[in-house]
Amino acid sequence: AQTVTQSQPEMSVQEAETVTLSCTYDTSESDYYLFWYKQPPSRQMILVIRQEAYKQQNATENRFSVNFQKAAKSFSLKISDSQLGDAAMYFCAYRRIQGAQKLVFGQGTRLTINP
């Protein structure tokens, strides 16, 4: 079974600085998708960024980028120029391409932005 691990329960960063959230996963599949979701206090799940495992290039969405290391099964999220609105829980998630369509989530990292 696939598992996703986020080893940082909490992180904090100064506004305008850069922060990196860690995620590792375990799978025997060779092709899959990885995601970072943001959950603000409203509890709405918001997709931040997506990475296809068959793509070597790291995904980027504005101030958000990932460092995808397939051999190490590592998928970290970098947030540049942190803003107060980035404060939230961040969840790393895995999904197979074939077969089961469910998302497998990590435990989450609570990110605090200090003004």
Q: Which residues bind another protein (CB under 8 A)?
A: 4, 6, 31, 33, 42-47, 50, 52, 54, 91, 95, 97-98, 100-108
**Which residue, 30 or 62, has its beta carbon nearer to another protein?**
30
Shortest separation between residue 60's beta carbon and another protein, angstroms: 15
Shortest separation between residue 20's beta carbon and another protein, angstroms: 19
19-56 burial code (b ≥16 CB/10 A, e <16):
bebbbbbebeeeebebbbbbeeeeeeeeebbebebeee
**Which residue, 19 or 32, has its beta carbon nearer to another protein?**
32
**Which residue, 80 or 103, has its beta carbon nearer to another protein?**
103
Number of Cβ within 10 Å of residue 81's Cβ equals: 11
Which among 104, 102, 115, 112 has a CA at the least distance from the CA of 40? 112
Shortest separation between residue 32's beta carbon and another protein, angstroms: 11
Shortest separation between residue 42's beta carbon and another protein, angstroms: 7
Helix (H, G, I), strand (E, B) or coil at 17: coil
